[in-house]
Amino acid sequence: MKVLAVETSCDETAAAVVEDGRRVLSSVVSSQTDIHATFGGVVPEIASRAHLELVAPIVGEAMSRAQVGPTDLDAVAATIGPGLVGSLLVGASAAKAYAWSWDLPFVGVNHMEGHLHAAFLEDPGLSLPTVVLLVSGGHTMLISMEEGGGGSVEYRLLGETIDDAAGEAFDKVARFLGLGYPGGPAIDRLATTGSGDAIAFPRGLARQGFDFSFSGLKTSVVRYVRAHPEARLEDVAASFQEAVVDVLVQKTRRAAAETRAKAICIGGGVAANSSLRSRVQEVCAADGLAAFIPSRAMCTDNAAMIGATAWYRLRTDGPTPLSATVDPNLRLPLK
Ligand code: KG4
Ligand code: ZN
């Protein structure tokens, strides 16, 4: 079964063709980063307009790279939330139009569920229960992915951020340090030449439960830099990154032990962070757990993960009616 998937929840216009929820026949991502960089963040109205111009050519490119025409497809999927409402509307409307005109079922997909499924695409051997650390620009969640009945997968929320998302903290701190947008990759790069233990930034809620808090850390970086203008930017970046990664890894490790997970999986844009990737590898090796660390391209927004999730959703729930609308605050279907 071949699914054409469209993803336009934020500032990436993406399309992919995925076979049987596993084989990526093509995955095209056009990033609008350059357009938004001038403004220091994503401007929703500009994002929607750019999606509108790009969606048809990107879908065309994905189909031509996969060497498929409309008659080779079995379904058309699109992200229907969470995300920016205008951006979501462009991708979902385009996908519904393709589905309707080609007489194919439409599947509306939850973007966060897409991130959860990304690891499956590259590692079909993923064994459950698995603890997934989902860290993006808008979310920070610890989820236990468990087997439900009849081959279904259930998600149990163990904890989430009570204020800023991890990616948001990276972006805000980078903006304050004058590193531009998006902040995560900039801090990641700069941190390689700095010392992670140069400055002891606070570890929010480190010992309590599975919820996260990053707004105190962000304030602490601002205060420190104002009080120490001589501080090396590399050290500030590395110490900030260390504080974020430390909390993320500690909690994920504890969650894996408590839920008797067989593996730890990471997903979302922040899962592209080099320090987080190596620390998760180390912890898994030490605790005898499998580590599912998707490629960087599969961590950041893409349509292949939406195509994989659509295939799974189509089998368990069937198609989504064309009357279904987008939901900028769509929540994960939790147990
Ligand atoms: O999942 P994603 O592509 O979009 C959302 O759904 O939010 O995540 C984007 C977030 C941004 O905050 C970006 O700064 C962060 O992921 N990010 C990183 C890295 N690459 C992207 N954060 C830390 N280190 C990275 N290498
Ligand atoms: Zn995302």
pLDDT of 277 reads: 98
* pLDDT digits 0-9 by tens, 160-184: 999 999 999 999 999 999 998 889 9
Q: Do domains 2-116+301-317 and 124-297 have the same CATH topology?
A: yes
CATH architecture of 124-297: 2-Layer Sandwich (3.30)
Structure tokens that stand for 107 in this block: 């599947």
* pLDDT digits 0-9 by tens, 100-151: 999 999 999 999 999 998 988 888 777 889 999 999 999 999 999 999 887 7
Average pLDDT over residues 184-211: 94
Q: Is 63 left (phi over 0), alpha (psi -120 to 50) or beta?
A: alpha
Please list all protein residues whose beta carbon sits less than 5 angstroms from ligand 2, which is an ion: 136, 301
For residue 300, which atom of ligand 1 is closest to its CA? 3
* pLDDT digits 0-9 by tens, 36-76: 888 888 899 999 999 999 999 999 999 999 999 999 999 99
The answer to whether the CB of 170 is under 6 A from ligand 1 is yes
Domain ranges for the chain: 2-116+301-317, 124-297
Average pLDDT over residues 184-194: 97
pTM of the model: 0.93
pLDDT of 279 reads: 98
Three-state DSSP class for 282?
helix
Q: Give the distance (Å) from ligand 2 centre to CA of residue 300.
A: 6
- Stated as kind and residue range, the H or E segment containing 216 is helix 215-227
CATH number, domain 2-116+301-317: 3.30.420.40
pLDDT of 38 reads: 82
* Residue entry with tokens 């999606």: 51
| Dist. CA 299–CA 42, nearest whole Å | 19
